[in-house]
A and B are shown apart, each in its own frame.
Chain A
């Protein structure tokens, strides 16, 4: 009997403690685990290291945890939309490691694939390469980048089942399936939770073996950073 089902976000994150290293899925505010972020704020855990492509905006997503000063270190690729982040970074209050987006994704992939490291051309000749091993393949230099070592991964899917199988929707997929594979303990919050057997196995993006805890989230706000529209002719 699989017991992955938890009642809510608070139960899902119950054992995340001060100093934990956490991966959080999402690109911008798209596909972020809103319920678990709110629960982490309620729990008040601090000194977190967060691995996530972005840091939310000032009052939503990981941005909320920055405001409450729960984050010690961010590992991200792009933080351009968050003034509080930039302030904490420039003042030295927040430790930040900026890494190329493809490197971030592929380091997650390496972890989930059980590979210790990757070689990538991204960042060669830049400050990203400082202190890292460079090796030539076919006459071209590549950087050695290590797989991540994180305690928890928190992801958001569109649909999931009680076995932890996940289906993502549109571009809210982004880092979610990669981080789902990379967590020592992976927590998935989903918009729609169904019984095992109700999802078509051919449509599963993340097989349940990667997911330890799952619950149906509530009150998704799904905030949009830039609403851009066309006018009807």
Chain B
């Protein structure tokens, strides 16, 4: 089973040289720590920064320089700042190659829910609805089951929807899945996890074709 760092590490394998990437709050932010050395990716932060650098040293912390998770960051070589309308212009016009988001629920047709639990929790959608409505490629980083052990990979989302049919791939502590017309297609198992266990923990339609390899993480 993967921990959150493992999920981030596995998603980092999806990055390609020259990609502009938007990382959501939570596990997706961790993906930045595992970008392969041999490639260059530019991270977009929807609050108005292209080229997010590592966290600053303690003496260099700047209140005016944060990421979308409100964490202090730095800039990389060749970075730029812009306002929020321009930022979402980049997103809506399809300039961002890959978006990595967290989710509370994903359905086997690619619907995603991640902004509200009616009566219990309201965080708001932030930029998620804009991102899912326009991004070319959306990977979701999420927990496969909730605290009670119930599947979060569903036939149909029970929570208010963020976007319809937009998710392309899901990486959980149990495995990697493509969203296909036949549902969640299992591509890889997490270390030590059996196909039967994944079947048991997945409520949505699960497609298993041939032998499923265990994922390789360095």
Contact = CB atoms under 8 A, between A and B. Distances in A.
Interface stretch (A1-9, A103-111, A195-203): A103-111
B124 A123 contact: no
Given A229-B56, A229-B57, A230-B57, A86 B81 contact: no
A228 interface: yes
Given A126-B129, A170-B62, A29 B46 contact: no
A228 B87 contact: no
Contact of A229 (B61, B88, B163): B61
Contact of B88 (A29, A105, A125, A158): A105
Contacts of B66: 27-28, 30, 171, 224-226
A169 B164 CA distance: 36
Nearest to B73: A228
Interface residues of A, number: 60
Contacts of B150: none
Interface residues of B, number: 52
A126 B130 CA distance: 12
A229 B58 contact: yes
Contacts of A89: 122
Nearest to B125: A100
Contacts of B61: 224, 227, 229
A128 interface: yes
A173 B83 contact: yes
12 contacts: A28-B66, A29-B70, A30-B66, A30-B70, A77-B125, A80-B123, A102-B84, A122-B129, A126-B161, A171-B49, A178-B83, A226-B69
Interface of B: 45-49, 54-58, 61-67, 69-73, 81-85, 87-88, 91-92, 115-116, 119-130, 133-134, 160-164
